[in-house]
Amino acid sequence: MSIYYIDEKSPLLVESEKEIDKKDPSLNGEMANSFLSEFRLNVEDFNRLFFLKYEMEYISRYSYLNHLDLRVVTHPYETNTCFEKAELFGSWDPLNVIKALYFEYSVDSSLYAVVVPETGCFINRARLKEILELPGGGFLKKANVLPQYMSFGTCSPFITEKDLKVNGGRIEKIIFDSEALEVKKEENTLDDFSFGLDHRMSLQMNYYTCFEMLKKRYPNTVIEREVLNLSFNEKLIRNNGKINISYEFQSLNYRTAKFINSIHGYGDVTILNDYLDELNLPRILNGTHKANS
């Protein structure tokens, strides 16, 4: 993979250097891996190579003016899911790969984007409708049509003014998770976002920083809500002096997902005879709670 940074001290690229598909070792068939190459570009070249055609120059401008950590990463092959990206990046936890899920409201075809870390769980659409306080008897469904400059597998929160419903587009709200915002602000680490239409590229910045940037640009559209709630079924069997307890999670909040990933890793896995001290259990599991029956 190759990493691109903004550096105002970098000279303008000459014409032969502007053909990124030929010059970038991750894109030209050399299949460079593990963040092997680094390139520094001035803002003009950075925008021309990555953002200008998607009307996303506001990202580099905001990051540069606020001295924020921003980079674009090119991949040696296409990815479509957060787990594919995490595997490509090697040591990355999927919780540091952000997904943007677009839902369409059946009543008026408005689009609602949920922007959350990859916990491995689905979004409860009925609950999302309640959170958004949507009127009428409609329902949320997976969007069949996306905003411009997006494709399935590259969905992102990086929209343009023309995508907004008030400007003739279809986007009504972009929702970030409130708990993830709080924790990721403290962590202050890079998170990976898709952008544009190329499945071989991604943008990396902090989740909270991304929210702040978009909130300032689209104050009536970008909001925060408790999207990633903790929801699970508990099954307890006590028989002949033995106790069997199992939990099936329908939804994970960010803190619990991080706890589970830190112990068990991520992706598809089966673990037996994995004993933990009670002090390591999340508070929701060793405290008083109301289980689903």
Q: Indicate whether 213 pLDDT > 50.
A: yes
**Calpha distance 143→114 (Å, rounded):** 12
* 40 beta partners: 5
pTM (2 d.p.): 0.85
CA distance 293 to 290: 9
Does residue 141 have a pLDDT over 90? Answer: yes
Res 3 pLDDT > 90: yes
Burial state string for 250-266 with b = 16 or more CB within 10 A and e = fewer than 16: ebbbbbbbbbbbeeeeb
For the four alpha carbons of 28, 31, 35 and 38, in that order, the dihedral sign comes to negative
Say whether 36 sits in a helix, a strand or coil.
coil
More confident residue, 30 or 271: 30
**Residue 289 banded pLDDT, cuts 50, 70, 90:** very low
**Residue-level pLDDT at 292:** 44
Run of H or E including 251? strand 242-251
The most confident of 18-32, 78-92, 195-209, by mean pLDDT: 195-209
Domains, the chain, ordered by start: 2-74 (no CATH), 94-186+207-225 (3.90.960), 231-286 (no CATH)
8 with 43: CB under 8 angstroms? yes
DSSP-derived pairing of the beta strands 111-117 and 171-177: parallel
pLDDT of residue 30: 74
pLDDT computed for residue 293 by the predictor: 35
- For residue 53, what is the DSSP state? G
State the pLDDT confidence band at 277, using cuts at 50, 70 and 90: low
Environment class of residue 92 by beta-carbon count within 10 Å: exposed (0-12), middle (13-18) or buried (19+)?
middle
Supply the pLDDT for residue 18: 78
Tell me which of 98 and 270 has the higher pLDDT: 98
- Indicate the pLDDT class of residue 241, thresholds 50, 70 and 90: confident
Report residue 143's pLDDT band, with 50, 70 and 90 as the boundaries: very high
Residue % of the chain over a pLDDT of 90? 62
Can you read off the two tokens belonging to residue 213? 């940037």
User: Which ranges of the chain would DSSP assign to H, the alpha helix?
Assistant: 20-23, 43-46, 57-65, 82-89, 125-132, 178-187, 207-217, 254-264, 283-286
Confidence bin at 262 (pLDDT 50/70/90): confident
pLDDT tens string 214-239: 999 999 999 999 999 877 678 888 88
Return all residues near 173 (Cβ < 8 A) that are at least 6 apart: 112, 113, 132, 221, 222, 223
